[in-house]
Protein backbone atom coordinates (compact mmCIF):
# COMPACT_ATOMS: atom_id res chain seq x y z
CA UNK A 1 0.00 0.00 0.00
CA UNK A 2 0.96 3.64 -0.40
CA UNK A 3 0.19 5.58 2.75
CA UNK A 4 0.29 9.38 2.95
CA UNK A 5 0.55 10.70 6.51
CA UNK A 6 0.89 13.92 8.46
CA UNK A 7 4.55 14.11 9.46
CA UNK A 8 3.62 14.99 13.07
CA UNK A 9 2.11 11.56 13.75
CA UNK A 10 4.04 9.14 15.98
CA UNK A 11 4.59 5.37 15.70
CA UNK A 12 4.03 5.32 11.94
CA UNK A 13 6.83 2.85 11.26
CA UNK A 14 5.69 0.54 14.05
CA UNK A 15 2.11 0.47 12.74
CA UNK A 16 1.21 1.47 9.19
CA UNK A 17 4.79 1.05 8.00
CA UNK A 18 4.35 -2.72 8.31
CA UNK A 19 1.85 -2.70 5.47
CA UNK A 20 3.29 -0.35 2.90
CA UNK A 21 5.33 2.72 2.08
CA UNK A 22 4.62 5.70 4.35
CA UNK A 23 5.05 9.14 2.76
CA UNK A 24 5.28 11.88 5.40
CA UNK A 25 4.07 15.37 4.47
CA UNK A 26 3.19 18.60 6.23
CA UNK A 27 -0.46 18.33 7.18
CA UNK A 28 -1.55 21.67 5.75
CA UNK A 29 0.30 21.02 2.49
CA UNK A 30 -1.20 17.63 1.58
CA UNK A 31 -2.75 18.09 -1.86
CA UNK A 32 -4.79 16.14 -4.39
CA UNK A 33 -1.60 15.48 -6.38
CA UNK A 34 -0.01 13.77 -3.37
CA UNK A 35 -2.89 11.29 -3.25
CA UNK A 36 -2.98 10.24 -6.90
CA UNK A 37 -2.04 6.64 -6.16
CA UNK A 38 -2.42 6.58 -2.37
CA UNK A 39 -4.50 3.88 -0.71
CA UNK A 40 -4.53 5.44 2.77
CA UNK A 41 -4.56 9.00 4.10
CA UNK A 42 -3.61 9.70 7.72
CA UNK A 43 -4.17 13.20 9.07
CA UNK A 44 -4.48 15.38 12.13
CA UNK A 45 -6.82 18.32 12.62
CA UNK A 46 -5.06 20.70 10.20
CA UNK A 47 -5.95 18.79 7.01
CA UNK A 48 -9.43 19.29 5.63
CA UNK A 49 -10.59 16.06 4.04
CA UNK A 50 -13.49 15.94 1.59
CA UNK A 51 -14.41 16.22 -2.07
CA UNK A 52 -11.84 18.92 -2.90
CA UNK A 53 -8.97 16.77 -1.65
CA UNK A 54 -10.09 13.26 -2.57
CA UNK A 55 -12.31 13.47 -5.66
CA UNK A 56 -10.95 10.91 -8.10
CA UNK A 57 -8.17 9.71 -5.79
CA UNK A 58 -7.58 6.05 -5.03
CA UNK A 59 -7.80 6.52 -1.24
CA UNK A 60 -9.83 3.79 0.45
CA UNK A 61 -9.25 4.67 4.11
CA UNK A 62 -8.92 7.98 5.95
CA UNK A 63 -7.68 7.99 9.53
CA UNK A 64 -7.56 11.09 11.71
CA UNK A 65 -5.45 10.78 14.87
CA UNK A 66 -7.67 13.30 16.65
CA UNK A 67 -10.66 13.39 18.95
CA UNK A 68 -12.63 15.78 16.71
CA UNK A 69 -14.00 15.30 13.18
CA UNK A 70 -14.95 18.83 12.11
CA UNK A 71 -12.12 18.74 9.51
CA UNK A 72 -13.56 15.59 7.90
CA UNK A 73 -16.52 15.60 5.52
CA UNK A 74 -17.71 12.27 6.88
CA UNK A 75 -20.98 12.32 4.93
CA UNK A 76 -19.09 12.65 1.64
CA UNK A 77 -16.60 9.92 2.64
CA UNK A 78 -19.42 7.52 3.46
CA UNK A 79 -21.27 8.39 0.25
CA UNK A 80 -18.13 7.48 -1.72
CA UNK A 81 -17.56 4.28 0.24
CA UNK A 82 -14.32 5.50 1.77
CA UNK A 83 -13.80 4.05 5.24
CA UNK A 84 -12.80 6.55 7.91
CA UNK A 85 -11.88 6.54 11.56
CA UNK A 86 -10.78 8.92 14.28
CA UNK A 87 -9.49 8.44 17.81
CA UNK A 88 -11.99 9.77 20.37
CA UNK A 89 -10.42 10.15 23.80
CA UNK A 90 -6.86 9.59 22.57
CA UNK A 91 -5.51 12.78 24.12
CA UNK A 92 -8.16 13.34 26.77
CA UNK A 93 -5.68 13.05 29.63
CA UNK A 94 -3.27 15.43 27.95
CA UNK A 95 -5.94 18.02 27.13
CA UNK A 96 -7.60 17.92 30.56
CA UNK A 97 -4.25 18.17 32.36
CA UNK A 98 -3.16 21.07 30.17
CA UNK A 99 -6.50 22.83 30.72
CA UNK A 100 -5.96 22.50 34.47
CA UNK A 101 -2.49 24.02 34.12
CA UNK A 102 -3.89 26.89 32.04
CA UNK A 103 -6.51 27.60 34.69
CA UNK A 104 -3.86 27.42 37.42
CA UNK A 105 -1.59 29.92 35.63
CA UNK A 106 -4.47 32.24 34.77
CA UNK A 107 -5.56 32.30 38.41
CA UNK A 108 -2.02 33.20 39.46
CA UNK A 109 -1.84 36.01 36.92
CA UNK A 110 -5.23 37.33 37.99
CA UNK A 111 -4.40 37.16 41.69
CA UNK A 112 -6.92 34.41 42.42
CA UNK A 113 -6.71 31.11 44.29
CA UNK A 114 -8.07 28.14 42.34
CA UNK A 115 -9.50 26.49 45.44
CA UNK A 116 -11.75 29.53 45.99
CA UNK A 117 -13.19 29.52 42.46
CA UNK A 118 -16.43 28.03 41.23
CA UNK A 119 -15.64 26.34 37.91
CA UNK A 120 -18.17 25.62 35.19
CA UNK A 121 -17.45 23.02 32.52
CA UNK A 122 -19.28 23.04 29.21
CA UNK A 123 -19.09 19.51 27.80
CA UNK A 124 -18.52 16.67 30.27
CA UNK A 125 -17.20 14.14 27.80
CA UNK A 126 -13.75 12.57 27.64
CA UNK A 127 -11.87 15.80 28.36
CA UNK A 128 -14.41 17.75 30.40
CA UNK A 129 -15.13 14.79 32.68
CA UNK A 130 -11.45 14.30 33.41
CA UNK A 131 -10.95 18.01 34.08
CA UNK A 132 -13.86 17.97 36.53
CA UNK A 133 -12.21 15.18 38.50
CA UNK A 134 -8.84 16.96 38.52
CA UNK A 135 -10.41 20.19 39.76
CA UNK A 136 -12.36 18.38 42.45
CA UNK A 137 -9.16 16.71 43.62
CA UNK A 138 -7.79 20.21 44.18
CA UNK A 139 -10.85 21.24 46.17
CA UNK A 140 -12.52 23.41 43.53
CA UNK A 141 -16.31 23.64 43.32
CA UNK A 142 -17.30 22.26 39.90
CA UNK A 143 -20.55 22.31 37.91
CA UNK A 144 -20.90 20.79 34.44
CA UNK A 145 -23.33 21.34 31.59
CA UNK A 146 -23.76 18.85 28.73
CA UNK A 147 -27.19 18.89 27.03
CA UNK A 148 -26.68 15.71 24.96
CA UNK A 149 -25.58 13.76 28.04
CA UNK A 150 -28.41 15.24 30.10
CA UNK A 151 -30.94 14.12 27.49
CA UNK A 152 -29.41 10.63 27.65
CA UNK A 153 -30.08 10.56 31.40
CA UNK A 154 -26.57 11.33 32.70
CA UNK A 155 -26.90 12.50 36.34
CA UNK A 156 -25.16 15.40 38.07
CA UNK A 157 -25.44 17.95 35.26
CA UNK A 158 -26.74 21.51 35.42
CA UNK A 159 -28.10 23.87 32.78
CA UNK A 160 -26.11 26.42 30.82
CA UNK A 161 -27.40 29.34 32.86
CA UNK A 162 -25.96 27.80 36.01
CA UNK A 163 -22.57 27.23 34.38
CA UNK A 164 -22.54 30.78 33.02
CA UNK A 165 -22.82 32.11 36.57
CA UNK A 166 -19.50 30.52 37.65
CA UNK A 167 -16.14 32.25 38.10
CA UNK A 168 -14.28 30.15 35.52
CA UNK A 169 -15.87 28.56 32.43
CA UNK A 170 -13.92 25.88 30.57
CA UNK A 171 -15.10 24.72 27.13
CA UNK A 172 -14.81 21.09 26.01
CA UNK A 173 -17.20 20.56 23.10
CA UNK A 174 -16.77 19.56 19.46
CA UNK A 175 -17.31 22.17 16.78
CA UNK A 176 -20.66 21.49 15.11
CA UNK A 177 -23.03 23.53 12.96
CA UNK A 178 -26.07 21.27 12.85
CA UNK A 179 -28.08 18.90 15.00
CA UNK A 180 -29.95 19.68 18.20
CA UNK A 181 -26.96 21.27 19.91
CA UNK A 182 -24.78 23.20 17.44
CA UNK A 183 -21.69 24.67 19.08
CA UNK A 184 -20.35 27.20 16.56
CA UNK A 185 -20.44 30.58 18.33
CA UNK A 186 -21.92 28.87 21.36
CA UNK A 187 -20.45 31.78 23.28
CA UNK A 188 -21.57 34.63 21.06
CA UNK A 189 -22.21 38.31 21.78
CA UNK A 190 -25.38 37.80 23.84
CA UNK A 191 -24.03 35.02 26.05
CA UNK A 192 -20.69 36.77 26.55
CA UNK A 193 -22.48 39.95 27.67
CA UNK A 194 -24.44 37.94 30.24
CA UNK A 195 -21.34 36.58 31.96
CA UNK A 196 -20.58 38.31 35.22
CA UNK A 197 -17.72 40.77 35.39
CA UNK A 198 -14.35 39.11 35.99
CA UNK A 199 -15.30 35.70 34.56
CA UNK A 200 -12.38 33.70 33.15
CA UNK A 201 -13.25 31.91 29.89
CA UNK A 202 -10.96 28.98 29.02
CA UNK A 203 -11.08 27.35 25.59
CA UNK A 204 -9.12 24.22 24.66
CA UNK A 205 -11.77 22.79 22.33
CA UNK A 206 -12.14 24.63 18.99
CA UNK A 207 -11.73 28.32 18.20
CA UNK A 208 -15.10 28.57 16.44
CA UNK A 209 -16.99 27.77 19.64
CA UNK A 210 -16.45 31.39 20.72
CA UNK A 211 -17.29 34.49 18.68
CA UNK A 212 -13.85 36.10 18.54
CA UNK A 213 -14.82 39.74 17.84
CA UNK A 214 -17.36 39.66 20.65
CA UNK A 215 -14.84 38.10 23.03
CA UNK A 216 -12.20 40.67 22.10
CA UNK A 217 -14.63 43.49 22.85
CA UNK A 218 -15.36 42.05 26.31
CA UNK A 219 -11.65 41.57 27.01
CA UNK A 220 -10.75 45.09 25.93
CA UNK A 221 -13.47 46.69 28.03
CA UNK A 222 -12.24 44.72 31.05
CA UNK A 223 -15.40 42.72 31.70
CA UNK A 224 -13.92 39.28 31.02
CA UNK A 225 -10.60 37.41 31.07
CA UNK A 226 -9.62 34.56 28.76
CA UNK A 227 -7.13 31.72 28.49
CA UNK A 228 -7.05 30.34 24.95
CA UNK A 229 -5.29 27.37 23.40
CA UNK A 230 -7.50 27.37 20.27
CA UNK A 231 -8.23 30.26 17.93
CA UNK A 232 -10.49 31.15 15.02
CA UNK A 233 -8.88 31.09 11.57
CA UNK A 234 -5.93 28.93 12.62
CA UNK A 235 -3.07 28.81 11.88
CA UNK A 236 -3.21 32.61 11.74
CA UNK A 237 -4.36 34.22 14.97
CA UNK A 238 -5.31 37.83 15.53
CA UNK A 239 -2.61 39.85 17.29
CA UNK A 240 -5.14 41.98 19.17
CA UNK A 241 -6.85 38.90 20.60
CA UNK A 242 -3.50 37.37 21.54
CA UNK A 243 -2.48 40.52 23.41
CA UNK A 244 -5.83 40.73 25.20
CA UNK A 245 -5.91 37.26 26.77
CA UNK A 246 -4.16 36.47 30.06
CA UNK A 247 -2.90 33.04 28.90
CA UNK A 248 -2.22 32.20 25.24
CA UNK A 249 -0.92 28.89 23.87
CA UNK A 250 -0.63 27.63 20.24
CA UNK A 251 -3.20 24.79 20.12
CA UNK A 252 -1.03 22.28 21.96
CA UNK A 253 -3.25 21.15 24.85
CA UNK A 254 -3.47 17.62 23.47
CA UNK A 255 0.15 17.47 22.33
CA UNK A 256 1.51 14.92 24.78
CA UNK A 257 3.66 12.04 23.57
CA UNK A 258 1.15 9.59 25.06
CA UNK A 259 -1.79 11.32 23.38
CA UNK A 260 -0.16 11.29 19.95
CA UNK A 261 0.77 7.63 20.32
CA UNK A 262 -2.78 6.73 21.35
CA UNK A 263 -4.15 8.62 18.33
CA UNK A 264 -2.03 6.62 15.91
CA UNK A 265 -2.80 3.31 17.62
CA UNK A 266 -6.53 4.05 17.63
CA UNK A 267 -6.79 4.59 13.89
CA UNK A 268 -4.35 1.74 13.20
CA UNK A 269 -6.80 -0.69 14.80
CA UNK A 270 -9.58 0.64 12.56
CA UNK A 271 -7.28 0.38 9.53
CA UNK A 272 -6.55 -3.28 10.31
CA UNK A 273 -10.27 -4.03 10.63
CA UNK A 274 -11.04 -2.26 7.36
CA UNK A 275 -8.45 -4.22 5.38
CA UNK A 276 -8.82 -7.48 7.36
CA UNK A 277 -5.23 -7.32 8.56
CA UNK A 278 -3.93 -9.05 11.67
CA UNK A 279 -1.18 -6.55 12.41
CA UNK A 280 -0.51 -5.81 16.06
CA UNK A 281 0.99 -2.46 16.98
CA UNK A 282 4.07 -2.28 19.12
CA UNK A 283 3.46 -1.08 22.66
CA UNK A 284 3.71 2.70 22.98
CA UNK A 285 7.00 4.03 24.20
CA UNK A 286 6.73 5.17 27.81
CA UNK A 287 9.26 7.08 29.86
CA UNK A 288 11.08 4.96 32.42
CA UNK A 289 9.42 5.24 35.82
CA UNK A 290 12.75 6.02 37.42
CA UNK A 291 13.82 8.63 34.89
CA UNK A 292 13.84 12.34 35.52
CA UNK A 293 13.83 14.53 38.62
CA UNK A 294 11.60 14.24 41.65
CA UNK A 295 9.62 17.45 42.09
CA UNK A 296 9.19 18.79 45.60
CA UNK A 297 5.87 20.56 45.08
CA UNK A 298 2.71 19.99 43.11
CA UNK A 299 3.24 23.27 41.26
CA UNK A 300 6.70 22.16 40.09
CA UNK A 301 5.29 18.89 38.80
CA UNK A 302 2.34 20.57 37.11
CA UNK A 303 4.64 23.06 35.38
CA UNK A 304 7.03 20.31 34.29
CA UNK A 305 4.27 18.20 32.75
CA UNK A 306 2.28 21.10 31.27
CA UNK A 307 4.63 24.05 30.66
CA UNK A 308 1.88 26.56 29.89
CA UNK A 309 3.97 29.61 30.83
CA UNK A 310 6.74 28.46 28.45
CA UNK A 311 4.24 27.95 25.62
CA UNK A 312 2.60 31.30 26.35
CA UNK A 313 5.99 33.05 26.22
CA UNK A 314 6.89 31.36 22.93
CA UNK A 315 3.66 32.47 21.30
CA UNK A 316 4.01 36.07 22.50
CA UNK A 317 7.65 36.10 21.37
CA UNK A 318 6.45 35.15 17.90
CA UNK A 319 4.24 38.24 17.95
CA UNK A 320 7.12 40.43 19.15
CA UNK A 321 9.32 39.22 16.27
CA UNK A 322 6.81 40.49 13.73
CA UNK A 323 5.41 43.77 15.09
CA UNK A 324 2.70 45.40 13.05
CA UNK A 325 1.86 42.27 11.08
CA UNK A 326 -1.50 41.89 12.82
CA UNK A 327 -1.40 38.07 12.83
CA UNK A 328 0.75 35.29 14.23
CA UNK A 329 1.20 31.89 12.56
CA UNK A 330 1.08 29.13 15.16
CA UNK A 331 2.09 26.27 12.85
CA UNK A 332 5.87 26.64 13.37
CA UNK A 333 5.36 26.41 17.14
CA UNK A 334 3.19 23.31 16.81
CA UNK A 335 5.59 21.59 14.41
CA UNK A 336 8.61 22.22 16.65
CA UNK A 337 6.76 21.54 19.91
CA UNK A 338 9.07 19.77 22.39
CA UNK A 339 8.06 16.32 23.69
CA UNK A 340 5.68 16.58 26.63
CA UNK A 341 4.57 13.79 28.94
CA UNK A 342 1.42 13.42 30.99
CA UNK A 343 1.11 13.48 34.79
CA UNK A 344 1.74 9.76 35.11
CA UNK A 345 5.31 10.21 33.86
CA UNK A 346 6.11 12.88 36.46
CA UNK A 347 7.40 12.08 39.96
CA UNK A 348 6.55 14.05 43.08
CA UNK A 349 8.23 13.60 46.44
CA UNK A 350 6.11 11.77 49.02
CA UNK A 351 4.64 14.22 51.48
CA UNK A 352 5.19 17.20 49.19
CA UNK A 353 1.50 17.50 48.48
CA UNK A 354 -1.25 15.06 49.34
CA UNK A 355 -3.14 15.92 46.16
CA UNK A 356 -0.39 14.76 43.77
CA UNK A 357 -1.49 11.11 43.74
CA UNK A 358 -5.12 12.08 43.20
CA UNK A 359 -4.10 13.99 40.09
CA UNK A 360 -2.21 10.99 38.71
CA UNK A 361 1.40 11.88 39.46
CA UNK A 362 3.86 9.24 40.65
CA UNK A 363 4.52 9.76 44.35
CA UNK A 364 7.95 8.49 45.40
Mapping DSSP onto H, E and C, the string for 288-349 reads CCCCCCEECCHHHHHHHHCCHHHHHHHHHHHHHHCCCCCEEECHHHHHCCCCCCCHHHCEEC
Residues 43, 67: contact at Cβ < 8 Å?
Answer: no
**Catalytic residue, candidates 206, 218, 225, 347:** 206
By residue count, the chain amounts to 364
**Catalytic residue, candidates 14, 234, 258, 318:** 234
**Catalytic residue, candidates 86, 172, 225, 251:** 251
Torsion of CA 201, 66, 69, 56, to 10 degrees: 150
Active-site residue flag, 234: yes
Active-site residue flag, 86: no
How many CA atoms lie less than 13 Å away from 49 in the CB half-sphere? 35
Residues 234, 258: contact at Cβ < 8 Å?
Answer: no
Active-site residue flag, 206: yes
For residue 122, list its beta bridge partners. Answer: 145, 171
Helix (DSSP H) and strand (DSSP E) numbers for the chain: 14, 16
Where in the sequence numbering do the catalytic residues fall?
206, 234, 251
Amino acid sequence: MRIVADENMLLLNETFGRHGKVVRLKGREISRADLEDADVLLVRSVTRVGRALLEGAAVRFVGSATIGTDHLDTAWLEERGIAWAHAPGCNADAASQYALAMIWLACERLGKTLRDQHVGIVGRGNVGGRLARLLQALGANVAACDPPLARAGEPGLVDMERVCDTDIISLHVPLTTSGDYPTRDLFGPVRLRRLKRGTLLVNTSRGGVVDAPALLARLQDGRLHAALDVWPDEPLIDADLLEAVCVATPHVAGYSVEGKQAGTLGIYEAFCRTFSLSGKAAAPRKPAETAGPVYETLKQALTASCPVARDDAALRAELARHPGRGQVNIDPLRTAYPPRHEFGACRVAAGADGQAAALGFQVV
